[in-house]
Amino acid sequence: MDQKFDPATLDVRIYMRELGQSARAAARALARAERATKDRALIAMAAELRAHGAQLLEANRADVERAKKEGCDAAFVDRLTLTAGSIEQMAAGLEQVAALEDPVGRITDLVRRPSGIEVGRMRVPIGVIGIIYESRPNVTADAAGLCVKAGNACILRGGSEALHSNQAIAACVRAGLAAAGLPEAAVQVVAIADRAAVGELITLSEYVDVIVPRGGKELIARLARESRIPMIKHLDGVCHVYIDEAADIEMAVKIADNAKTQRYGTCNTMETLLVAAAIADRALPPIARIYLAKGVELRGDAATRRLVPEAKPATEQDYHTEWLAPIVSIRVVAGLDEAIEHIAKYGSQHTDAIVTGDRSRAERFLREVDSSSVMVNASTRFADGFEYGLGAEIGISTDKLHARGPVGLEGLTTQKFVVLGHGEVRNQRGGD
């Protein structure tokens, strides 16, 4: 591992500014790089990870031991731990990203204007991406791969508990870049544990074009307040399934079951089930039986509890809550309008689904629910970059501008206008 600085005398601000400057310089080389070069780098990174498995595991062991000593819980240690299998997964992930189409340089929407000029849009890298993430070392390789493929430089700041693991992975990433003739500074992994590094990173507006924060809601909310750089982020996933009166009961039960219980801890898991009053007596009892059999705690309004006596009373706060656990909030609503109102009031604009056989109500739901993913007759669990065919994702955005929903390679690029002329000049006055 190369450590070019002396931590004892390190000034965090100077260190982070230097990372920023060299990332900015590297970004121009990355933006120019051909697809073949970028793919060669990714494939070389994968080979490096495989070739240095022993070193990666050793570096990781140091992190894991310290985390255990410091009393981190089992789930935390589990996310932190690398295995031969997870190293292979990182390597295979990089190869999968190499196989994806390169969005950069693609020109679309080219039209000839009355003046004679042709106007289109070219997809281009964003520049420098800053990513702040929890102590999951695999994110270091995954994020590096996506950023490089999209032609961006990146500054990666993983959880301080994963410092050694991340530095070991960073060495493989740098070796891969070098093997393809790309600047090693294109991927910089913050090499200091000092949490002040995060505060510096989100204010490096001169060198960093966008920040992708991952992790807990409170952390992201704080970063969003303090950042001077645009962010691609989501705070929480209070996702809904609405069972319309025109739903097929069997389909509704299957979707409500899957959306809640397939995985409890993911952001696209349903947290609140809304059921139209006209179908509640037929739809709710069979769903409730499944939930109860799986140990899911039910919290419902009065109408729900009349049909499902096992449900506890739901509080106002329950409907705002992202459970991330085997608990579900339930409400019986008069119909589509009330469902849309409920989602607008309590939802987090992440992912919401309607189950219905009625086309016009499906269309109203699609149009009027203002969430990053809106679904008809499908489980909210599908809100995912792989499931959507993006190839991989850096995260899911509930922001409205730029990237919304799962963010893949395209979300790590932007578009500029290109004008192809033949000597045209502007003759009429006007415009700014």
Query: Which SS3 state, helix, strand or coil, does residue 312 take?
Result: strand
Q: What angle do CA 259, 265, 60 make, to 5 degrees?
A: 140
- Residue 295 or 423: the one with the smaller Cβ distance to a copy of itself is 423
- Residue 11 or 226: the one with the smaller Cβ distance to a copy of itself is 226
If one asks whether residue 327 binds a copy of itself (CB under 8 A), the answer comes out as no
If one asks whether residue 321 binds a copy of itself (CB under 8 A), the answer comes out as no
If one asks whether residue 268 binds a copy of itself (CB under 8 A), the answer comes out as yes
- Residue 92 or 193: the one with the smaller Cβ distance to a copy of itself is 92
Nearest to 98 by CA among 66, 144, 32: 144
Alpha-carbon distance 333 to 312, whole Å? Answer: 18
- Residue 289 or 386: the one with the smaller Cβ distance to a copy of itself is 386
If one asks whether residue 372 binds a copy of itself (CB under 8 A), the answer comes out as yes
Measured between alpha carbons, how far is residue 174 from residues 49, 51, 118 in Å?
11, 14, 41
Signed CA dihedral, 386, 368, 269, 304: sign only: negative
41-80: contacts with a copy of itself (CB under 8 A): none
**Region near a copy of itself per CB under 8 A, out of 59-67, 79-87, 183-191, 266-274:** 266-274
CB of 47 to a copy of itself, least distance (A): 24
Q: Which residues contact 201 (CB under 8 A, 6 or more apart)?
A: 16, 130, 132, 155, 157, 190, 208, 211
Radius of gyration (C-alpha) of the chain in whole angstroms: 24
- Residue 58 or 95: the one with the smaller Cβ distance to a copy of itself is 95
- Selected from 43, 396, 408, 409, the binder of a copy of itself by CB under 8 A is 396
Which residue type, as a one-letter code, is found at position 409?
L
- The two tokens of residue 178 are 């070098």
CB of 10 to a copy of itself, least distance (A): 29
- Selected from 60, 258, 321, 356, the binder of a copy of itself by CB under 8 A is 258
CB of 261 to a copy of itself, least distance (A): 10
CB of 184 to a copy of itself, least distance (A): 21
**Region near a copy of itself per CB under 8 A, out of 8-16, 50-58, 258-266, 295-303:** 258-266
Contact criterion met (CB below 8 Å) for 26 and 85: no
If one asks whether residue 424 binds a copy of itself (CB under 8 A), the answer comes out as yes
If one asks whether residue 402 binds a copy of itself (CB under 8 A), the answer comes out as yes
- Selected from 166, 378, 408, 409, the binder of a copy of itself by CB under 8 A is 378
If one asks whether residue 367 binds a copy of itself (CB under 8 A), the answer comes out as yes
If one asks whether residue 303 binds a copy of itself (CB under 8 A), the answer comes out as no
- Residue 93 or 176: the one with the smaller Cβ distance to a copy of itself is 93
Strands 128-132 and 153-157: parallel
- The two tokens of residue 28 are 């121009």
- Selected from 178, 219, 249, 251, the binder of a copy of itself by CB under 8 A is 251
Alpha-carbon distance 252 to 243, whole Å? Answer: 6
If one asks whether residue 32 binds a copy of itself (CB under 8 A), the answer comes out as yes
**209: left (phi > 0), else alpha (psi -120 to 50), else beta?**
alpha
- Selected from 15, 353, 356, 361, the binder of a copy of itself by CB under 8 A is 353
80-109: contacts with a copy of itself (CB under 8 A): 105
The DSSP output letter for 387 is T
- Total residue length of the chain: 432
- Residue 175 or 362: the one with the smaller Cβ distance to a copy of itself is 362
Alpha-carbon distance 259 to 238, whole Å? Answer: 12
Q: Which residues contact 423 (CB under 8 A, 6 or more apart)?
A: none
If one asks whether residue 335 binds a copy of itself (CB under 8 A), the answer comes out as no
172-231: contacts with a copy of itself (CB under 8 A): 209-210, 225, 228, 230
101-160: contacts with a copy of itself (CB under 8 A): 105, 111, 113, 115, 117, 119, 122, 124, 126-127
If one asks whether residue 293 binds a copy of itself (CB under 8 A), the answer comes out as no
Alpha-carbon distance 85 to 351, whole Å? Answer: 31
By CB under 8 A, the count of residues binding a copy of itself is 82
Alpha-carbon distance 322 to 398, whole Å? Answer: 14
The DSSP output letter for 388 is T
The DSSP result for 171-213, as a single string, is: HHHHHHHHHTT--GGGEEE-----THHHHHHTT-TTT-SEEEE
- Residue 80 or 172: the one with the smaller Cβ distance to a copy of itself is 80
- The two tokens of residue 422 are 């033949």
If one asks whether residue 426 binds a copy of itself (CB under 8 A), the answer comes out as yes
**Region near a copy of itself per CB under 8 A, out of 43-51, 140-148, 263-271, 325-333:** 263-271
